[in-house]
Structures are given as C-alpha cells and as structure tokens.
Structure 1
C-alpha cells in the first residue's frame, strides 16, 4: 500500500476530533518529545544538519517487530563491520548472515543485503541515495512506512510513518473501531497520520510518535497520566485504552515437529547445511532436519508422533510412513535433507537421543511467525569413511556444507537461534 495523497485524504468531518484538536496534536507531541523523548539512540538523525539515510534505513529494518534493546548491539556490530551502504553491498552473504544471526525474521536480512546492492547501484548512477518516496519503496523490503521514516528522518524531507506504534497511538486517540488488519482501517489510519504530520518537521514528529508508542502508549499498562494527548484521547475518556487497536483474534498457531540431527565425526566436528535462500532460515546454516508426522491417536483423544527413519528403532514399515506421503515429504525436506535421510537408511545408521533428562525425547520449542516448531536433538557418530561418502553425496548435489565443532560453528556461521538452543543442550 502506498501512502495517501492529499487528494485521497477524507475531509476533517470524517475524523473523530475537532480541527482544534487535530491542529494542536503535533505541537503538544513535539513539546513532550523535546523534554521526555529519547535523544541518544545511535541511529537518530533529528539533531544533525547532515542526516544519513543509511543508518535510518538499517535501523528501521532491524526494528521491524523487534525491540530497541534487542536491536542496539546488532546495529553497533553492523555499523562497525559495514560503516557504509557500499560496505554492506560488497560483503559476502555469509558474513551478513553471521551478523544478523539471532535477530530473527531472517527475510529482513536477505532483503537488507539485496537492498544494499540496489542502493549502491543507484548511488553509482546518481551520486546519492534515492530522494523520493517512490525511490525508496522500490528498494527490496522497504514498505510505505519505512520509506516515510527514511524520507522524514534520514533525508529531513516530508515523510509520513504509520507503523505498529503509530497505529496504536492513533487508534486510541481517535477511538478507531475498525480492525487494523483490514484495508479500510489502514486507509483511515494513513489519512489521519498524514493529516497530523507537520510538513516542516516530519522527522522529529516521526521520532516522537515512535517514542510515544514505545514508552507511554504501550500495549499494556499505558502511562496515560504522563501523556500530552490525554485531554482529548477518546479511548482514555472511555476508560478503554487497552481495547485499541482492534485486531481480529489470531488462530492458534499450528505445531511442527522435527528431529535435528547432530551428525558428527570422532573429533566432535558436526555437519552443517546452508539452508536454501527461500523458505525458513534462508541462507543461514542449520543442522539437518527430519520431519516427524503428527497423527491423531485412536478416537482422536491424543496426538502421537511417529518416529522417522534413522531413529533408535531399526528401519521398519512404520518408519517408511514418512516417505510414503510424498507431498509432505517434499515440502518439509530440503534436497540436502532428503539425501541425508536416504543415506542413513541405506547405511542402516540409527540416531540416539542427546537428552540429559530421563526422557527419551526433549523437544526444544521454537516459535516462528506462523507456527511453533518442536525440535528434538538426535546424534549419530560417523567414521572417516562414512564422512567422506556422505560429504561426496552432498557435494555432488552442489550442497554447501561445513564440518565444524559447535564452538567454531557459533563463531563463524550464521546460525538461527533455534540451532544455538540445541547446541546449549
């Protein structure tokens, strides 16, 4: 969705506030921000005459669905290793992935790297960063709110933001009842955000709105008594602050189950696979995974988990159930994992539980955006001949692999947080 234009904004009669309230919104907010806002974040540009759009873009991408305290050390490390967009564009993906590992939502990192290459080309051609909203929205992973933030804070031009923090502030202040996941509500919020944003000071206003949502108008227990907008906040007047924003209840997340195979040699080096660029953990390094089919038990009273091939049991017809569901099998297994799966069967190798508890299985719960993932670590040790054979099979399929100890993998590879959890067992 693009930002609204002046011609698309509803008349003020469609807003829930008087013209006086609408006009005084920004001055009140900016006065509060001057005294109480955050002014020491490393990416902030509202106190400089020569703003740097690179640091604003980088921080905005990192801050998507991630808290400031989490982002701070990652931002510092990125700026140390990639002080300019050209440095980021020239970096190898593995190095970028290593710097991002643990921050989550890994598609952001892929888009960041791709976007850096796009920006470097634009700068080579024009001598500068994009100078328009449309120019920034053309960069990989940059949506209308991020583009508006870069325009406002990174270039000190006019830009409007309407991210999660802003939507929370506006839906409460204007008592907007519509579901914020619906396009009609989104259009209303964008229109209100544009109406409130001062043309001459949109950068400070954007930072102030972010601070308001992050420090006062929080999801739970908003600090209304400290809010400069409380006198005409409709949600506050109704005593319904936490009823906003209105959002349809999410369906419960489904669960998936996998074995995480720790395939190692006698020296403790472990097999690591680079995940495909598309899909979960794209471009990062992972242990081989085995999908476990969850089926209903008798009378649907309790779910059971069928063991896959290469489990403590010898290969059996039950194990072959995983292979028989071709659609599931092909969806859940990468090419590398299919090769490993078949190779373990052929060599009649079994994996063992690495649980330190009395239970045979100790799944690690790792929650992603759309599902919960339960990962059970299982281990098998190969001799030198077997390692050579398996490595050859994977390399013949042009699979990127490494044999590294757990410590070396943590130090040199971009590992998803779930893999780090497994290594900590």
Structure 2
C-alpha cells in the first residue's frame, strides 16, 4: 500500500515509541482521572473529565472535578441529582451546555447499564450519549475501557499539524479528515490509552500554542514545522471575525431585607438552567444608548416610531426606545418581559445610562460568540411591591429566589458573569 503521508514509513512507525518513552519519564501521571496505571479502568471518571476538559485547562478543571466526584461518585449519583445541584457544582466553569449534556448523558448511561449490565463498549455506543463526539468517545474507549480508541482534540491537532506541516484550515472538513487519518495511522493498537494521554500531555506541556519547547520534544528530528522554523504558523486557522458586543443593564432588584431577586434561566439559550439577575438589553445607536425594555403598556400609548422618548423615573435623562428593533425583543426571557413591564407600571425604571456608549461599562464578560458589557442597576422595593412582583412572576410560572449575595453564591448555580457583578 502506498504511503500517502509526508513522512517516511520509518518516521511513522517510530512516532508512538518515541512519544511513549518521553511520556513515561516526563508526562503527567498524577491527574485524578488518569486510568493508565490501573487494571480496572473507570469509564465514568474519564467521561466526566473529558467533558470538563473541552475548551478548558487542566488547572481550572481540577477543583471542579474534585467537587463532582465528592458529590457524585458514580454515574448513578449524577443521574439521580437534581439539575439545580448539578448546575451549582458547574457554575463558573463556562460553556454551560456541557453541564446540561453531562446530566442528560448520565441518565442515558444509567439506562444502558440497567439494560446491558455495563457501560457502552463501542465507539458508536459512546457517541450516542449526549455531548460525546468522536474524540471524546475515542478517549473513553482508550483510557476509560483500555480498548482501542483514537483521539483528535485541539492539543492533538496542534501536534500533528506541526509535525506533518499540514497547512489546511483546521476548521475545514477536508483538513479534519486528513488529521483524523494521520491520528489513526499513528495510534498503536496496543496502549492506545497511554498514547492518547501522551499526545494530550505533549500538546499541553511542550507543543503549546506559543513558545513551544521544541528542544525538549521527542519528535523534533522529523517535525516539518520545526525544520522550517515555522512552528507557530501551525495549526492554520481562518482569521476570526471580531466578536460583536452586546450591552445590558443587570438589575439588582432588592427587597427591604436587602435580598436580591434571582431568576432561573430557561433550559435553552445562554446560561440554560442557571440563575441570573434580570437583564435589560441595551442597543448602541448614533451617540445614545437605547434601552429596549419591552414596556408594552407605555409604548402602546405613544406614536409608533423610533423617536419615542421615555423619561426615567429616577432622573431627568431620557431613554430612546427603539420600538421597531425586533432582535432585542427575542433577547428577553418571559420573566424579564414581566419585570420590565411591572417596573414601568410602577415607575421604578432603573437609572438611565448617561454615557453615550457603554464601552466603559464596569463589567466585561466574554462568551464564545460575543462580548457582553454588563452595567449593574439597583432598584429597591417596599414590602407591597416585593409581594406584587413576586406574584406577577409566579403567575407566569417563573422560578425565582430572593437571596442576598452571599447566600446566592453559596446555594445557586450562578454564571461567572453574575459572580463578577456581586464582587
């Protein structure tokens, strides 16, 4: 069979032995989820760690992994846990869809175990679990079951694109296919779990994004990028478009006891299932800031145009309401619409923003697809108002909590952005 790769057969055959020899001496052998030193591997531990490690560094994951294992030592424990408990354990780790899939996946795995008496034993079986893609499934097969499995995650792609000087855009399917073919060619049939861990360690500790430690690398002699002095040119990735920005007021609605109103976010969308302050989305327009408050009772009595003005109850500033901007209406949850309408009726609209743009908003929080600028706004309610807004939200079947800042952080699953506001 003709060799379709850029290296010689000798280079390809010697890749795994060189890497494993390096890993034995220099690799990490004390991570709590590693299974290569046991004869009875635990796929639950590997699955949990692999989900947590997606787009997240080991140092960040370690305390979260320890908390999960203390509270949910088995997949049955995780499956039986309430979502709020799982969310509270995950809060701050980011990419919250992973937590949703983890909880759903635990329930799926419990069903598989109840039916078959064991965890899935095939790649397809693992890929059928929510949130498990080909690389995660390969890692579980290799490291969690000590069977043959191939991984091709971000660390592996970086090592391979440099070693083989693969100059295709790694976001394109053709390059992905090429990388998987090379990963499969290099992964030994025996010790594929050890090889997978070694490849991840190589990418995490030596073949890093910037300043790779090439002089310590066991693959430097035939690394094509190193030979060309172009290590940091790989992997090739299309230049990202600048992230758009969104702007919001985060409403600290307090009762007379100093407790703050918290809303549970819908399952779908940003921060699904976590707890958040009510948000009031803001639109940047020609030198002013317009708050799209969805205040229907106020707007319906005014002319239907973009020049509508709404005086803030707490000052003489005016807010320009862009009533024809449908995009901002879709940003609001039902709970936030109820709150904004209720505040308008009771003339308790938060202070208007006096800056022309919110570039200097006190809190910047970056998510995958956009930057979020959050400006805290405080409103204090009397006892009757607290009862009224609570009843209005409960009538809308909204999950709410009145808790002070410390209790909220201790008992609710809060996204990191909310913690930033409290801090």
Query: Taking structure 1 as the reference length, what is the TM-score of the superposition?
Result: 0.92
Q: Does 1:368 align with 2:367?
A: yes
- State which drifts further: 274-283 or 310-319: 310-319
How many residue pairs get matched?
404
User: RMSD between aligned alpha carbons?
Assistant: 2.1
Q: Does 1:250 align with 2:240?
A: yes
In structure 1, C-alpha distance between the alignment counterparts of 2:97 and 2:414, rounded to whole Å: 14
Q: Is the 8 A contact 1:308 1:319 kept in 2?
A: no
Structure 2 counterparts to residues 90-109 of structure 1, below 5 A: 90-109=80-99
- Secondary structure, aligned partner of 1:200: coil
Residue equivalent to 1:306: 290
**Offset, 1:86:** 0.3
Map Cα deviations across residues 218-247 of structure 1 (whole Å, 9 max, x no partner): 000000000000000000000000000000
**Offset, 1:118:** 0.2
Residue equivalent to 1:284: 274
Q: Is the 8 A contact 2:281 2:291 kept in 1?
A: no
Distance change (3 Å), C-alpha of 1:386 and 1:165: same
Residue equivalent to 2:321: 321
Q: Is the 8 A contact 2:312 2:351 kept in 1?
A: no
Q: Is the 8 A contact 2:291 2:321 kept in 1?
A: no
Q: Is the 8 A contact 2:258 2:404 kept in 1?
A: yes
Map Cα deviations across residues 183-213 of structure 1 (whole Å, 9 max, x no partner): 0000000000000000011000000000000
Residue equivalent to 1:330: 329
**Offset, 1:296:** 3.2
Aligned partner of 1:209 among 178, 182, 199: 199
In structure 1, C-alpha distance between the alignment counterparts of 2:17 and 2:2, rounded to whole Å: 18
- Secondary structure, aligned partner of 1:261: strand
Q: Is the 8 A contact 2:43 2:145 kept in 1?
A: yes
Q: Is the 8 A contact 1:96 1:113 kept in 2?
A: yes
Map Cα deviations across residues 10-31 of structure 1 (whole Å, 9 max, x no partner): x653211000000000000000
Q: Does 1:38 align with 2:25?
A: no
In structure 1, C-alpha distance between the alignment counterparts of 2:5 and 2:132, rounded to whole Å: 29
Gaps of at least 5 residues in structure 2 are 296-309
Distance change (3 Å), C-alpha of 1:354 and 1:69: farther
In structure 1, C-alpha distance between the alignment counterparts of 2:69 and 2:89, rounded to whole Å: 10
In structure 1, C-alpha distance between the alignment counterparts of 2:360 and 2:141, rounded to whole Å: 51
Q: Is the 8 A contact 2:319 2:352 kept in 1?
A: no
In structure 2, C-alpha distance between the alignment counterparts of 1:87 and 1:58, rounded to whole Å: 13
- State which drifts further: 326-335 or 267-276: 326-335
**Offset, 1:307:** 4.2
In structure 2, C-alpha distance between the alignment counterparts of 1:41 and 1:146, rounded to whole Å: 17
Q: Is the 8 A contact 2:33 2:46 kept in 1?
A: yes
Q: Is the 8 A contact 1:46 1:203 kept in 2?
A: yes
Q: Does 1:196 align with 2:157?
A: no
Residue equivalent to 1:263: 253
Q: Is the 8 A contact 1:172 1:236 kept in 2?
A: yes
Q: Is the 8 A contact 2:104 2:130 kept in 1?
A: yes
In structure 1, C-alpha distance between the alignment counterparts of 2:277 and 2:2, rounded to whole Å: 57
Query: Taking structure 2 as the reference length, what is the TM-score of the superposition?
Result: 0.92
In structure 1, C-alpha distance between the alignment counterparts of 2:122 and 2:359, rounded to whole Å: 58
**Offset, 1:353:** 8.4
Distance change (3 Å), C-alpha of 1:364 and 1:20: same
Structure 2 counterparts to residues 382-393 of structure 1, below 5 A: 382-393=381-392
Aligned partner of 2:173 among 175, 183, 199: 183
**Offset, 1:317:** 12
**Offset, 1:332:** 1.0
Map Cα deviations across residues 310-342 of structure 1 (whole Å, 9 max, x no partner): 9982399964624x1352232110000000010
**Offset, 1:351:** 2.2
